[in-house]
Amino acid sequence: MAALAGLHLDYLSPAEYRAARWSEVLGVATFDPAPPRAGGGSTEIPVAQVATPVLLGTADVHEVWRCGGPAESGQRNRVRFRHSEQLLFGCIAVPESQPSGTEAAPGAPGAAAPSALHAATVGAYREICATLDGVGYPHLLRIWNYLPDINLDSHGTDRYRQFNTARQAALREAGLSLTGEVPAASALGASRGSPLLVYFLAGRAAPVYIENPRQVSAYRYPRRYGAHTPVFSRATLLRQRGSLTLFVSGTASIVGHRSVHVGDTAAQTRETLANIEALLEEANRVERGARFTLGSLALKVYVRRPADLPVIRAQLAAALDPRQPVIYLQADICRQDLLVEIEATGMCPLKSDA
């Protein structure tokens, strides 16, 4: 992608990663199989090791976030982070076997006892919020959540709903918004036995929060999707000198609040793209001067069933520029009836600070 001022995302092969300029790397996410520490890599750089198999291309992809300026690393409890003047990248992995050094928040009266996942989620979010508070980057821009067996039922409900309950409890406890001013996010399955893995970008300044006109805001989903709603915005927009970055949340074949095209992978992919296009149009309407297009995005495509990859790729080939950065990962999606989910990051130059 074109070099722009400020934050920058690349999907790099291991060789390209080794050639990167370390001082300007804020953070990295790798995808299963988690590579051993890359030879040229600095141990200073936080690396989120995401346990989702890569479906296409180089077996190990590095999602590299660069900040275009000097950065400094740190650690607070289990959160490893690195920050530039305006932005902070951080990550935390919490095994469910040894969930946290702190106690889980009590569940609602009459509810089943909180699960290990609940405790792990509360622990992770508490530490993230404490880090943001302590280091002075109060605004979560974008957060990625990966948890094993996301569709599995236990403790009276599925694990994605347990995660939602715990995420909400921890954010409430930290005094953060549960609606409106909430980060863009993704929440996906990960390989069995892997820890809860959360990584994030936060800023000194608040982003612009964007919702999708075709979808009910996730934080207003009706109760049938769980007692506690998912806390995320459909997208957030970061303004920096000379550039805009749009963080598009994981997006699926959901219209209103309902999953559509159940069982039809091609149609789900097209609907997902229609949702992303509607969101881009909304971002361009809200932010005068923004010109986001599908072609300006880097995409991460989550595929539930590896056998669906050709169908999904064919739909994307018809809509995208072949030179666009796209990676494909195998991951379970939070609703059983969803077969594909796509998240994206858009970069666009900002002409003036009008």
Estimate to the nearest angstrom the gap between the alpha carbon of 90 and the chain centroid.
12
CB 319 → ligand 3EB: shortest distance, Å? 19
**Closer residue to ligand 3EB, CB minimum distance, 240 or 249:** 249
Closest contact distance (angstroms) between CB of 7 and ligand 3EB is: 20
Residue 250 touches ligand 3EB, criterion: CB under 6 A? yes
Q: Is the Cβ of residue 8 or residue 159 nearer to ligand 3EB in the bound state?
A: 159
218 binds ligand 3EB (CB under 6 A): yes
| 334 part of the interface to ligand 3EB, by CB under 6 A | yes
In sequence order, which residues have a C-beta less than 8 Å from that of residue 185 and are 6 or more positions away?
Answer: 142, 143, 144, 145, 230, 231, 232, 233, 249, 250
Q: How near is the Cβ of 303 to ligand 3EB at its closest, in Å?
A: 15
Token pair in block for residue 217: 């805001």
Q: Among 17, 31, 199, 232, which residue interacts with ligand 3EB (rule: CB under 6 A)?
A: 232
Distance between CA atoms of residues 296 and 60, nearest Å: 24
Among 41, 68, 226, 230, binds ligand 3EB (CB under 6 A): 230
Per-residue binder mask for ligand 3EB (CB under 6 A), 142-171, x = binder: ---x--------------------------
Which of 38, 55, 182, 187 touches ligand 3EB by CB under 6 A?
Answer: 187
Considering only 249, 253, 315, 330, the residue that binds ligand 3EB (CB under 6 A) is 249
Residue type at 157 in one-letter notation: T
**Cβ atoms within 10 Å of 83's Cβ, excluding its own:** 22
74-93 residues near ligand 3EB, rule: CB under 6 A: none
Binding mask 256-285 for ligand 3EB (x = CB under 6 A): ------------------------------
User: CB 332 → ligand 3EB: shortest distance, Å?
Assistant: 11
Rounded distance between C-alpha atoms, residue 331 and residue 311, angstroms: 16
Residue 183 is a binding residue for ligand 3EB (CB under 6 A): no
- The two structure tokens encoding residue 296: 């300006």
CA distances from 78 to 37, 272, 327 (A): 18, 35, 28
* Residues involved in catalysis: 341
Does 347 participate in binding ligand 3EB (rule CB under 6 A)?
no
User: Is 254 a binder of ligand 3EB (CB under 6 A)?
Assistant: yes
d(C-alpha 190, C-alpha 114), whole Å: 21
Question: Which stretches of the chain bind ligand 3EB, using CB under 6 A?
Answer: 145, 185-187, 218, 230, 232, 249-250, 252, 254, 334
